[in-house]
Amino acid sequence: MITDTYRLVESHACPMSTCQAPAGSPCRTTSGKVALKYHTARFQLVPALRSELHVATPAVRHPGSVWTALPVQKVAPPAVPMEVRIAYARVSTRTQEIQSQVDALEASGVHRLFQEQISTRVRERPEMKAALAAAREYRSLGAKVTLVVHEMKRLGRGALELLKAAEELRDAEIELEFLTGPLAGKHDPSGHGAALFAFFAAMAESERDYIRDKTLEGQETARKSGKAIGGVKVSDDDMLATALRLRDQEHLSLREIASRLVIRTGKKRGQHPSPATVMRMLREHDEVSALPSTSTH
């Protein structure tokens, strides 16, 4: 099986009109040099890399040197089992034991096992992300893949978190199996198990509605009490002027503009604003500028 990231990327021709590097060769710049990183449109053709922000060109491809087409290396079709079972185990605190989950998962005949100690309040779970990436990669190679967890709450506690994982599995045609609990058994998102994924979606919609209603109720209560709604404003006139110059004259992206700005007041003093904050600041300015001017006589 191809394991080098750059070979996975280079197994596809680059779809970028300004590059169009053939399979087997690195991406190239408009000036005819080997690009320092692969174009996003190319590495996102690899299922396991779709969530990455960038993939660097390895030293073996001599990034920055003059680009030349390389011969396509014929790779033998990877040998993968007809069915790959990938397991995921998780506990929230160090005082909880994880071995019973591991033992049960190994006894069920899994091929690979990912485990971590991390709270469900943490949005990014590295081992969960790695398990899903491995599952997508095996699926892209033609294997039937099943993600196995001990029980539903190990996959996620909240409905929104469960739906996010379920949507990834459904989109990649990966089956889900619970060893215990009321939903014990294997669920195929494209077959009889589709009802479970629809259930997750309904739960998530219900939770979103509940959160929205409680938020609106809290805001209304705060207004009646005379409290301000929303976070502390981090932008000022100088920051806006700099952002406008970087956008209109230097044509930088929101992320690049945010990296050039510094918050001057409040708890976030000295930090960079988020790209979302920059977008909101510029949008508000543009909306005000678009209003018809009025004059008094």
Q: Annotated catalytic, 92? A: yes
Q: Residues 92, 108, 259, 274: which is the catalytic one?
A: 92
What is the widest separation between alpha-carbon atoms in the chain?
86
Nearest residue to 75 (alpha-carbon basis) of 6, 144, 153: 6
> What does the CA dihedral 123, 126, 128, 134 come to, rounded to 10 degrees?
140
Supply 55's token pair: 């993939």
Supply 208's token pair: 């979103």
Taken as a whole, the chain contains a residue count of 297
Q: How far apart are CA 86 and CA 236, in angstroms?
A: 50
- β-pair partners for 117: 91
AA identity, residue 49: L
Q: How far apart are CA 85 and CA 225, in angstroms?
A: 55
- Asked whether the beta carbons of 139 and 145 are under 8 A apart, the reply is yes
Q: Specify whether the backbone of 24 is left (phi greater than 0), alpha (psi in -120 to 50) or beta.
A: left
Q: How far apart are CA 201 and CA 295, in angstroms?
A: 53
Q: Could you give phi then psi for residue 6, rounded to 5 degrees?
A: -65, -30
- Asked whether the beta carbons of 89 and 65 are under 8 A apart, the reply is no
Active site members: 92
